[in-house]
Amino acid sequence: MSRVQSDYEPHVLASRDLLKNDPVLSELLDPNVSPLFLECFLVEWLARTPYMTAPAASWIRRAGKRCIDQGIKRVGHALVAHAVCDEAALDLTTRNLRTIVRLMNTRYGARIDIDALLTMPPTVTMRAYRILHEEVIAADISVGEVAIAYEIERARSLFDMTVLVAVQRALGPETTLALSALRRSAPLAIEHTVFFERALAEILEHKPDCNEQLAEIGAGVLDIYRYFLRECVEAAKERARSMSVPSSRRGPKQVPSLYV
């Protein structure tokens, strides 16, 4: 058993369970979910995601340099090498958003303004997500950025795939194929989870007394991310209420599960 499993994970399990079992997020996976509501969620989620992910490479690079300064050199150099700005992913997310909006505008006769979506100001929760990263990197516990990255990549590897399954069930192959960013990110998040888990294990070898503090940081980012997803759900509900729901687009019954 690694130090991550024995010393770290027991302190984050509660926050992981809150995300996994959140009743608001589970509405997305109801077997009778409104396809319109699900599409509106995709719009809100894809529009907000670039703000959340754009600085990721910078955060990892800076955390890696702080690790090197603190003598955790192998982890530090690995983090710096890992910190590549995935501009293609950001561009793909925006292109997927434009495709989903075009599909919805055609399907429902809607007038969703893509430019308004891409320029909307960040919410309090979105700003809190960035602030947490910046504060952790600037603090003595800058290695906490690894705990943040581990928990977020782990959560996304599960949630992204779950959403894809829900989309395939409720909206069909056309919308699923349009979500190339999600189809790309889900397997990558699994690889990144493994990388950050190994990095976290080595950090705990160097700093065994920091296990609870690192777990507190990891749990904190999960709580912020859960509320971010809730915001996307609530915004999707509001958008869906302003549009008609064709009854013919109900999906087949399935047993809902947040993580597939």
pLDDT tens digits, one per residue of 32-84: 899 999 999 999 999 999 999 999 999 999 999 999 998 999 999 999 999 87
**Chain position carrying tokens 């429902």:** 108
Q: Which residue has the higher pLDDT, 3 or 248?
A: 3
Quote the Cα angle for 249-254-260, to 5°: 115
Whether 169 and 177 have beta carbons less than 8 Å apart is answered as no
pTM: 0.90
pLDDT tens digits, one per residue of 22-32: 999 998 888 88
Would you identify the CATH topology of the domain 3-243?
Heme Oxygenase; Chain A (1.20.910)
Please state, in angstroms and rounded to a whole number, the distance separating the CA atoms of residues 8 and 173: 40
Spans of all domains in the chain? 3-243
* 132-to-157, 246, 259 alpha-carbon distances in Å: 21, 42, 26
